[in-house]
Structure 1
């Protein structure tokens, strides 16, 4: 759906509608255009999505029915899980329906925020449909929250549209040129090992190069999609949250997760970390639960659990280090430029190493990924 002719046609029609139609009809038209695009791609899935969305909206608006709304989302999530299992471990003929993971996670956030009374006002039906099915966010996020989405974008219409088009252009350049052309060309010219060319028994340099290549390629692609999402939403009069903030200059593991895929990090904090923290009264268990959910959202496999353990281990080391040393005092070595650059290098090395769990797909045995991790640090030689 993203990038096809129907997508750009609907986006253009919605831009005209948002710019020239009176405000009282605006949300209705945008909601219908957004849902028509989903129907065009998959009518059956669209009908299921609409039924679940209407059920959640009705129950939440009543100010009660949170349990029933949660059960409705659970049923939708069960379908997501079944489709992902069939896609990864079956014959590959049943793919996960378009946009279902983003829809499920955003509906969960809706119920959580409604239960916590985190909204200034509840959405009207057409606003809610626009919010959930907008082509800006439906396929590739970010995981926008209603409390942020409900405020229209500021500024004149012409400025907003120009900014939106510019963000879309930037996103397309990242995806088409950086991810698909420039990075492969650099790898081919320099002999940089890519995951597809890594042999059965690679050396440490080959594994590091493959992980770094995956990291940079995914960053270019995903941040490009996020730029397109922000630009598309601006064309329709909304400004969603940013999903990336230069994670390649993060100086600690915690700083990295404030910069990388920001929306899912905040979602896990709100919907996983805080509830589990309230039950367990510990740090590492809710942290591990959050990263496991985050990992399994991207793909089902034990490698994602291993990836979650790696992330938690790095964060716990950082937290322990920070507690022992305390806040850095002005003028000390910990506030100097050298330490800042070293911190960025350490953090990026830690992040690059985590991609060893994603080099060859979700169904590869964890022991193979751990073997590659050992090779990265020189053992076995």
Structure 2
């Protein structure tokens, strides 16, 4: 009953107008569209509350009898608006007995600064370029500009969302809460299945534990279960057909990859590993993910189709609005290169190498200097720039 009530509230605020509008268009009805203000982050805190109810029902966690402690979990402000989705069982012990240490507080500040830098420096820079390209529409962009816009958005959404997650994890640590990681370098994945194990981990694991496994998981109706999960993933992100199309797009490749993998296992084919195969696999994954983000970014499904058609030269602009260098100035190009570097595993490898070979005082000094520099540039960008809300605030 409680789960149904949560879903009913979510449906009313997020999907009621979408359903009415779809009925009007498909059936030619004249249902009156009621203006409903969408609460920020409703999908996140609704799923978070549902996880508590379900875990209590399953007896995975005891009932929290202190209403103030339960309220603390429900309105836990560091990650309330845009995740990660925190399950009650992961922080139940810290709600009852929470300790704040100097080490945790220091780590929390560092993590918050890293997240702030991702958002204010890289994501916001990409947002300005991407918005300019998209605002021109498919008819005024060359194929190379369209590709730059899609790559820019691929970087923007990663640094925007992972930046918020870093800031939330950092704030939580400063108050004594240890939230699970939400990203693990998703753009180095070798297939779409791996990508979804690395991207928005809290949502993927939520659907796995509360939808996929109860439906049968890997035991029965595997392909149907996966299709349902990714359909719901698209619906969860927004009340629009292009979000549903994005979920179907990802789900289709998940199903294809699973079918290919099972066919190989059935025939006993041994897959040999090589750097060339790994490179091809990563390029394939980035290609599919990039096109998926075009579908995600587009205002409507038709706009996504037109944009992709421009990327592949199917739609040729009659009149180009601006040249490539208008969008890709020196700052934007620098941020794009830095974004590509920091979306890879290179920075973590360099950090590990420095930590292993450099004396501890030197490593500490270098880290603090870099953090201060990132914080300074981030603040300057916030003061000088325009307001760019987090992308996932709308979900």
Does TM, scored on the shorter chain, surpass 0.5? yes
Task: Give the equivalent residue in structure 2 for 1:263.
Answer: 202
Q: Distance in 2 between matches of 1:239 and 1:278?
A: 29
Task: Give the equivalent residue in structure 2 for 1:122.
Answer: 63
Task: Give the equivalent residue in structure 1 for 2:221.
Answer: 282
Task: Give the equivalent residue in structure 2 for 1:70.
Answer: 3
**144, 164, 168: which one aligns with 2:86:** 144
Q: CA RMSD, aligned part only?
A: 3.4
**76, 98, 105: which one aligns with 1:134:** 76
Task: Give the equivalent residue in structure 2 for 1:8.
Answer: none
Say if 2:304 is the partner of 1:369: yes
Partner deviation per Cα, 1:234-276 (whole Å, 9 max, x = no partner): 1111111111111111111111001101111111112222233
Say if 2:232 is the partner of 1:232: no
Q: Distance in 2 between matches of 1:277 and 1:376?
A: 40
* CA shift in 2, pair 1:324/1:71, >3 Å: closer
Say if 2:272 is the partner of 1:334: yes
* CA shift in 2, pair 1:317/1:202, >3 Å: farther
Say if 2:301 is the partner of 1:360: no
Contact map agreement 2:119 2:164 (CA 8 A) in 1: yes
Q: Distance in 2 between matches of 1:97 and 1:289?
A: 26
Q: Distance in 2 between matches of 1:78 and 1:309?
A: 20
Q: Distance in 1 between matches of 2:302 and 2:123?
A: 29
Contact map agreement 1:248 1:348 (CA 8 A) in 2: yes
5 Å-filtered alignment, 1:77-88, equals 77-81=10-14, 85=18
**74, 81, 104: which one aligns with 2:46:** 104
**219, 237, 243: which one aligns with 1:304:** 243
- Alignment length, in residue pairs? 302
Contact map agreement 1:101 1:297 (CA 8 A) in 2: yes
SS at 1:136 equivalent? helix
After TM superposition, the structure 1 stretch with the greater mean CA deviation from structure 2, 336-345 or 163-172, is: 336-345
Q: Distance in 2 between matches of 1:251 and 1:193?
A: 31
Contact map agreement 2:127 2:156 (CA 8 A) in 1: no
Task: Give the equivalent residue in structure 2 for 1:223.
Answer: 162
5 Å-filtered alignment, 1:139-288, equals 139-152=81-94, 157-181=101-125, 183=126, 194-200=133-139, 202-277=141-216, 281-288=220-227
Shift of 1:288: 2.1
Shift of 1:298: 1.9
Q: Which segments of 5 or more consecutive residues in structure 1 lack a partner in the other structure?
A: 1-67
Contact map agreement 1:198 1:206 (CA 8 A) in 2: no
Q: Distance in 1 between matches of 2:225 and 2:17?
A: 25
| Structure of higher RCO (CA pairs closer than 8 Å, 6+ residues apart) | 2
Q: Distance in 2 between matches of 1:156 and 1:71?
A: 37
* CA shift in 2, pair 1:84/1:110, >3 Å: farther
Q: Distance in 1 between matches of 2:181 and 2:113?
A: 16
Q: Distance in 1 between matches of 2:218 and 2:279?
A: 39
Contact map agreement 1:258 1:265 (CA 8 A) in 2: yes
Q: Distance in 1 between matches of 2:142 and 2:263?
A: 36
After TM superposition, the structure 1 stretch with the greater mean CA deviation from structure 2, 269-278 or 349-358, is: 269-278
TM-score by length of 2: 0.67
Q: Distance in 1 between matches of 2:46 and 2:263?
A: 40
Q: Distance in 1 between matches of 2:178 and 2:276?
A: 37
**323, 345, 351: which one aligns with 2:289:** 351
* CA shift in 2, pair 1:278/1:158, >3 Å: closer
Say if 2:59 is the partner of 1:113: no
Contact map agreement 1:291 1:311 (CA 8 A) in 2: yes
